[in-house]
Amino acid sequence: MVRSILMALVLSLPCYAQAWGFFAHQKINYYAVFLLPPEMLVFFKPQIDYLTAHSVDPDKRRYLLEQEGPRHYIDLDHYGPFPYTSLPRHWKTAVAACTEDSLVRYGIAPWWIQVMLERLTKAFMAKDSELILKTAAELGHYVADLHVPLHACSNHNGQLTGQQGIHGFWESRVPELLAEKEWDFLIGPANYYKDPLSLTWSRALQSAAAADTVLRLEKKLRSQFESDQVYAFEERNGQLTRQFSAAYTLAYNKLLNGMIERRMRASIEAVASFWLTAWANAGQPPLGSLGRDRHSQPLSDSTLLLWQQIDAAYKNNPIKGREHD
Ligand SMILES: [Zn+2]
């Protein structure tokens, strides 16, 4: 009886899941700052807390705006076998071939990154410090999301293969357990990418190619563990939460042979490089004085209002569109 009540309790408690997890998104934007050249560091480093905190705004916005969700993923397997040559890489040709409605239905992450990159370039040109920070923090989010294999695959939470919860397992639980303690985030300097769209697609294709491994190895591991060893209760943010057990998490990470650490490192490199690329394409405006202005000016009312709106939506609304669980 006690056992069955406990079991019912276990099954009723949710696993948690957010894209790359808030924890990983914050780490990615944070570490990306240190890859920047001194001319950018002078502005970005004093704002590292902002860039870290607001790395998750796009995920919160998914609770406010219907159109936000598809910006975070692309179901590449919808477009036939790898490397999905039926899908044109440029937005206009893709729209001509597939229609905009259809593209939106299966996710627009690679193209949305180009929109944000363009916005960041314009913000640098305008020397608008508030807009630079907001756009850089959010661009970092979208670039990082595309490095997650399950953001490039229609079986995005294992829902087609009885593996519900794998999304948060891969991108939240594993990094939260290991990133701080064991992973190495010393990465070489940011790169300038002459063709950012092609870099975006190469990272998207890497993600799509890894999705099968992410799913297959978890299935294999599940068959090697007793069912009562897969989950455990642990305290999280002051609440007892059911999640994948530490033993299961460590075993999965070992099977993946460093994949999540590699994808996180690649995310950091790409985020910093896209920030650098936008700045370079804007003509490398000097940012030193911008940093000084930034400290003397409070945030605008419209920005503060926007944050209140997305925070309230995140706390009170159901998600609009795709959920991982
Ligand atoms: Zn996201």
The whole-number pLDDT of residue 205 equals: 98
- Bridge partners of 231, per DSSP, are 244
What is the pLDDT, as a whole number, of residue 12? 38
pLDDT attached to residue 316: 87
3-state secondary structure of 34: coil
What's the gap in Å between 112 CA and the centre of ligand 1? 12
Q: Answer whether residue 276 is part of any domain.
A: yes
Domain annotation covers residue 56? yes
Give the Å distance between the CA of 20 and the centre of ligand 1.
7
138 CA distance to ligand 1 middle (Å): 10
Q: Does residue 251 lie in a domain region?
A: no
Whether 202 maps to a domain, the answer reads: yes
* CA 59 to ligand 1 centroid distance, Å: 5
Query: Residue 3 domain-assigned?
Result: no
Number of separate domains in the chain:
1
Q: What pLDDT, on the 0 to 100 scale, is given for residue 16?
A: 43
Which secondary structure element, helix H or strand E, spans residue 233, and what is its range?
Answer: strand 231-236
pLDDT computed for residue 293 by the predictor: 66
Q: Residue 292's pLDDT is what?
A: 67
The CA distances from residue 96 to 67, 198, 200, in Å, are 20, 19, 20
Quote the ligand 1 centre to 171 CA distance (angstroms): 11
Q: What is the pLDDT of residue 10?
A: 41
What CATH number is attached to the domain comprising 175? 1.10.575.10
244 Cα: distance to centroid of ligand 1 (angstroms): 21
Q: Is 240 part of any domain?
A: no
User: What is the full per-residue pLDDT of the chain (325 aa) written as tens digits?
Assistant: 444 444 444 443 334 445 578 999 999 999 999 999 999 999 999 999 999 999 999 999 999 999 999 999 999 999 999 999 999 999 999 999 999 999 999 999 999 999 999 999 999 999 999 999 999 999 999 999 999 999 999 999 999 999 999 999 999 999 999 999 999 999 999 999 999 999 999 999 999 999 999 999 999 999 999 989 999 998 877 888 889 999 999 999 999 999 999 999 999 999 999 999 999 999 999 999 887 666 666 678 888 888 888 888 898 888 887 765 4
Nearest partner of 108 among 60, 58, 64, judged by Cα: 58
Question: Which residues constitute the domain of residue 147?
Answer: 16-209+258-316
> What is the Å distance from ligand 1's center to 71 Cα?
8
As residues whose CB is below 5 A from the ion ligand 1, the structure lists 19, 59, 72, 145
How many angstroms separate the alpha carbon of residue 199 from the centre of ligand 1? 19
* Distance (Å) from CA 57 to ligand 1 centroid: 9
Ligand 1 centre from 156 Cα, in Å?
Answer: 13
CB–CB of 156/322 below 8 Å?
yes
**CA–centroid distance, residue 35 to ligand 1 (Å):** 22
Q: Is 100 part of a structural domain of the chain?
A: yes
The pairing of beta strand 239-244 with beta strand 231-236: antiparallel
Structural domain includes residue 20: yes
Please tell me the distance between residue 309's alpha carbon and the centre of ligand 1 in angstroms: 18
